[in-house]
Amino acid sequence: MSTLLIFASSAMVVALIFYSIGVFGEKMSGTIQFKHLMFFVGGLVFDTIGTTLMNRIATQDGDSTFGLHQVTGGAALVLMAFHFLWAVWVYNKGDEKAKHQFHKFSLGVWTLWVISFVLGILLGVGVIS
């Protein structure tokens, strides 16, 4: 396993941990708090790092195909960025109802992200191609 793959995989796992803590912490608390914003942005940053490194690996290996994993991963990354920006807005300007309902969107984005994460693992170990 290459060093680049180890860093990329590690970044994705850290992204999963941060994003999961943010999403489920916000759901369990019943409202969005500043600490959740920090976990959201941490997940976004590490996902971006991991995605960039994985893309570099695929390009070097000549495997830069465009498939379901790339579609779900790209959509999840864009939605994570939108999710973070909306979270900041809701935290700063949203009413209490918006703060208490924010988790519904969070869970949807998290689910798409996890699907892409699992697809990447399955592709990486050769279960799917």
User: 56-96 pLDDT, tens per residue?
Assistant: 887 886 766 677 777 888 888 999 999 999 999 999 988 88
Cβ contacts of 65-73, under 8 Å, gap ≥ 24: 68/119, 69/116, 69/119, 69/120, 69/123, 72/112, 72/115, 72/116, 72/119, 73/116, 73/119, 73/120
Q: Which residue has the higher pLDDT, 51 or 124?
A: 51
What DSSP element (H or E) covers 52?
Answer: helix 34-61
Which pTM was predicted? 0.88
Q: Which residue has the higher pLDDT, 6 or 102?
A: 6
Q: Where would I find the beta strands (DSSP E) of the chain?
A: none
Tell me the backbone φ, ψ of residue 33, rounded to 5 degrees: -125, 165
What rounded mean pLDDT belongs to the chain?
89
What average pLDDT score do residues 40-49 get? 97
Where in the chain are the domains? 3-124
**pLDDT score at 2:** 87
> What distance in Å separates the CA atoms of residue 29 and residue 95, rounded to the nearest whole number?
16
